[in-house]
Amino acid sequence: MNDLRDKYIELIAAATGEAALEELRVQAVGKKGEISLKMRELGKMSPEERQIMGPRLNALKDEINAALAAKKAGLADAALNERLKAEWLDVTLPGRGRRSGTIHPVSQVWEECTAIFADMGFAVAEGPQVETDWYNFDALNIPGHHPARAEMDTFYMHRAEGDDRPPHVLRTHTSPVQIRSMEAGGAPTRIICPGRVYRADYDQTHTPMFHQVEGLAIDKDISMANLKWVLEEFFSAYFGTAVKTRFRASHFPFTEPSAEVDIQCQWKDGSVKVGEGDDWLEVLGSGMVHPKVLRAGGIDPDEWQGFAFGMGIDRIAMLKYGIPDLRAFFDSDLRWLRNYGFASLDVPTIRGGLSR
Ligand code: PHE
């Protein structure tokens, strides 16, 4: 009995895997196992013998079973430790960044303009990009024979053969929205309209589609002084520094008097800095709304007056963010967008804020 015990205890201790252990179990305590056969022999013994051998055999069986169970648990622990060693994760490893899209500089500046003018009480108005010639020209005091029509390099829409109504146009400026918002809201009014405009022109500073923001303020006693204040307030907030403006007498059919507005800047090593130096850069056209335009919008020019302006969004985006070529704005080159784009959660910067 002792030999049997020593043999199996030794074999169990030496077993190297679960399969080997199972084989040992069958060999020792399985149905035809060595210990089981010994137990069967109990029947042939005398009652005296059985009384001694029975408990001893049972104890042996229990001991072997316990050794098998302990070894099995030990093997499982060892296997788990092996797995833990092989399958560990370094949770401190930095994540692999996923590129997300960026906000186009035009969208960013569009938002910045909207935020700054909203702060001065201007609401945002909209109009269609395909316009009638009435809204784009006639209502703005640009009659059919007017040279401004030719100068604007207008894109005309197609008309069916035999249809001799004047063709629709891709709006050449955001000014038609002046008329549309006068019609819709009457006076007094204060609106801006950022949007796309179209002209058949293409070189380093012109693209056939570009962006303007129109401004219109109408009330009883609005003057050029208000226009100048609003624009200087805008530029200072937008560029985050005090910006001087220069008003040059000009001509637009829809404003009288009219002025083109330059902002103070300095050219240094091929790049431009706004708000210092003694160069000037043209950024917008403006003036007091022509009485004929007020009337076309359904507003009595004997009672109301106001100013309007139209500014190039792409132009001021290039100036603020140091972007040299306008055409690259619309190439959809991902490398350009990653370089000049803004993170989607960037709040539009209104550096410096308004002086009020
Ligand atoms: N619409 C003019 C342009 O596109 C700009 C402008 C707007 C001028 C409003 C005066 C008043 O050039």
274 CA to centre of ligand 1 in angstroms: 22
Integer Cα distance of 45 and 53 in angstroms: 9
Q: If DSSP codes are grouped into helix, strand and coil, which group holds residue 195?
A: strand
| Cα–ligand 1 centroid distance for 253 (angstroms) | 9
Which of 173, 228, 247 should be mutated for ligand 1, with most atoms under 8 A from CB?
Answer: 173
Q: State how far the Cα of 281 lies from the Cα of 269, in Å rounded to an integer.
A: 16
Strands 255-268, 130-131: pairing is unpaired
The pLDDT, as a whole number, for residue 211 is 97
Per DSSP, helices labelled H in the chain are 2-14, 18-29, 34-40, 47-86, 105-119, 133-136, 147-151, 176-185, 224-239, 291-296, 313-321, 334-340
Q: Which protein residue's CA is at the shortest distance from atom 7 of ligand 1? A: 310
* Nearest atom (ligand 1) to Cα of 289: 11
How much distance in Å is there from the Cα of 120 to the middle of ligand 1? 20
Q: pLDDT of the chain along its 356 residues, tens only?
A: 888 899 999 999 999 988 999 999 999 999 999 998 888 888 898 988 888 888 998 999 999 999 999 999 999 999 899 999 999 888 899 988 888 889 999 999 999 999 999 999 999 999 999 999 999 999 999 988 887 777 678 999 999 999 988 899 999 999 999 999 999 999 999 999 999 999 998 888 889 999 999 999 999 999 999 999 999 999 999 999 999 999 999 999 999 999 999 999 888 877 788 888 888 989 999 999 999 999 999 999 999 999 999 999 999 999 999 888 899 999 999 999 999 999 877 665 555 444 43
- 105-340: in CATH 3.40.630.10: no
List, as residue ranges, the binding site: 256
The pTM of the whole model exceeds 0.75: no
Longest distance between any two alpha carbons in the chain, whole Å: 136
Q: Which of 175, 248, 255 to mutate to test the pocket of ligand 1 (most atoms within 8 A of CB)?
A: 175
Chain-centre distance for alpha carbon 356: 31
Q: Take atom 12 of ligand 1 and give the residue whose Cα is closest.
A: 285
Query: Could you count the other beta carbons within 10 Å of the beta carbon of residue 296?
Result: 20
Closest CA to 328 of 343, 341, 311: 341
271 CA from centroid of ligand 1 (Å):
27
Closest residue (by CA) to atom 2 of ligand 1?
A: 310
User: Rg of the chain over CA atoms, in angstroms?
Assistant: 44
Closest atom of ligand 1 to 212 CA is 4
Annotated binding site for Mg(2+): 256
**Could you tell me the distance, in angstroms and rounded to a whole number, from the CA of residue 115 to the centre of ligand 1?**
21
Given the CA of residue 175, which atom of ligand 1 is nearest to it?
1
Query: Which residue ranges have their beta carbon within 6 Å of ligand 1?
Result: 173, 175, 252, 255, 285-287, 308-310
CA–CA dist 193, 59 (Å, integer): 97
